[in-house]
Amino acid sequence: MNLSKLTIAEARRALDAKEYSALELTDAYLTAIAEKNPEIHAYLEVWENTAREEAKKADEMISRGESRPLTGIPIAVKDNILIEGRIASAGSKMLEKYTATYNATVITKLKEQGAVFLGRTNMDEFALGGSTENSAYGPTKNPHDISRVPGGTSGGSAAAVAAGMALVALGSDTGGSIRQPSAYCGVAGLKPTYGVVSRFGLIAAASSLDQIGAIGKTVGDAQLLFNGVRGYDKNDSTSLPDSTEIKSGKRPLRIGVPRDLFASRLDTDSSARFEKTLNSLRKKGYEIKDIKLFSDPQIPLAVYYIINPAEVSTNLARFDGIRYGLSVTAPSIQEVYSKTRGTGFGPETRRRILVGTFVLSSGYADAYYRKALAVRETIKADFARAFSAGGGSSFGGESVDAIVTPTTPGPAFKFGEKSDPLEMYLEDIFTVPVNIAGVPALSVPMGTVARDGKDLPVGFQIIGAHGSEEILFSIGNDIEQV
Ligand code: GLN
């Protein structure tokens, strides 16, 4: 088996045909991890023994003729998704020794199907960042150039898939954390519609923006993993009914390009890759048209960096040295709080808590937080207008089936290159509007650009209306063919 080319469909065929066993497949991945992980540092922990046991169970399911789409498929899991009895640290010292007491719903679903869990992958602390440099356990390296970041926050998951250390991986995306690392590592990553995949058992960053999603070498792999974890869950109060899905019936599809959102921010060679990809879609019969999406392209990022810190500061209030994780002993309760939080959280996490506490504080909440919530509604309305039949005046009365942009302004950057937090935040400018509106988006590779003699992948982002994942997969498949 060639792990650098293997897809779920091919593994499924070979496993069911008994060309190799799930145990052999798992062992092949464990060997690849032992070889490559010391350099790439995609995994924080590898679960050799339980992975082998799970693989043996999968082999029994296959022998009994009970194989399901993900039976025996080796999967990497981001370190913020709970597996009962396993440490889930969210890339933080605060939760270094925290052991999950229950399974996330996505894990329960994958266990029922006989999937194999290889280990937990590195991430920016509490899913805050864009490079994995904010992990308390050291960064992950980009398999295409180890002097560069893999992206973040699901950098470990994307690097594991890109380096052939996992067949597919689960990540989470609050403002781009599946799509941006997928683009930088040259793999496919889906951020599903908000509410379509359960967040039960996902360590919360910003609850109204967070979604668990799938990273695979191909669009088909991301789709299979997504199908394996999606579905209504009574344990998640924001979970959507299963009927939300929109089928891709009508052809040809019309695609909108909001150039004013990205034109001025794009590297010239990334821009050329983007135009080439657009052209290939045009040749396949898609109708491509320029649209104006937002009145001001800066607005979504500003809204995001108020709502995200506000929700982060609230969610992370529970890490107080008493209830979970790290506890630093001190003479007074006040000092237990301050010493635990001062040592347990890294600099970016503390920055978000401070900003979030400020924008929520009395006297400022109206000017910042509530204003951001109001503007959030206009961003949702902008997307709704673009996707709704009839459209708006800026669409010439016509709606679009999908909106496309580059996933990021350029390829992966070097370690330390974006030490100014605002520069790092600008990497998210094309991805955050999606989370603000709760719509789905898929990043697919659109070739490479050269930097310092290395070919670095860049990504093409396809955004759809709520529940339109199938449309995104079908466009993504068309791009993959060229
Ligand atoms: N880079 C963004 C942030 O730091 C998005 C992170 C994410 O999607 N989890 O908030």
Q: What's the pLDDT tens digit per position in 57-90?
A: 999 999 999 999 999 999 999 999 999 999 999 9
pLDDT of 394: 52
Could you tell me which residues come within 8 angstroms of residue 481 by beta carbon, excluding any fewer than 6 positions away?
Answer: none
HSE value, Cβ hemisphere, 13 Å, CA-based, for 170: 35
pLDDT over 90 (residue 278): yes
Tens digit of each residue's pLDDT (9 = 90 or more) over 364-423: 999 999 999 999 999 999 999 999 865 444 555 579 999 999 999 999 999 999 999 999
Q: Please tell me if the CB atom of residue 474 comes closer than 6 angstroms to any atom of ligand 1.
A: no
Choose between 227 and 242: higher pLDDT. Answer: 227
What does the alpha-carbon distance between residue 401 and residue 416 come to, in Å, rounded to a whole number?
39
What are 438-460's pLDDT values in tens digits? 999 999 999 999 999 999 999 99
How would residue 221 be classed by pLDDT, with cut points 50, 70 and 90? Answer: very high
Calpha distance 135→9 (Å, rounded): 33
Q: Cα–Cα distance between 459 and 439 in angstroms, integer?
A: 18
- Mean pLDDT over all residues of the chain? 96
CA angle 31, 35, 40 (to 5 degrees): 125
Is residue 143 within 8 A of residue 394, CB to CB? The reply is no
Phi-psi region of 451 (alpha: psi -120 to 50; beta: other; left: phi over 0): beta
Strands 188-191 and 454-463, bridge-based pairing: unpaired
Q: How far does the centroid of ligand 1 lie from the alpha carbon of residue 261, in Å? A: 19
Per the listing, tokens 């597996």 go with: 83
Rg (CA), the chain: 21
Nearest-CA residue for ligand 1 atom 10 is 128
Q: What is the pLDDT of residue 252?
A: 82
Distance from CA of residue 366 to its chain's centroid?
31
Answering whether pTM is above 0.85, one says: yes
What pLDDT is recorded for position 107? 98
Q: H helices within 41-78, ranges in order?
A: 48-63
Best mutation site among 153, 202, 429 for ligand 1 pocket (most ligand atoms within 8 Å of CB): 153
| Residue 366 backbone phi and psi in degrees, to 5 | -65, -40
CB under 8 Å to 285, separation ≥6 — which residues?
Answer: 251, 252
Is any atom of ligand 1 closer than 6 Å to the C-beta of 177? yes
Rounded to 5 degrees, φ, ψ at 142 are: -75, 125
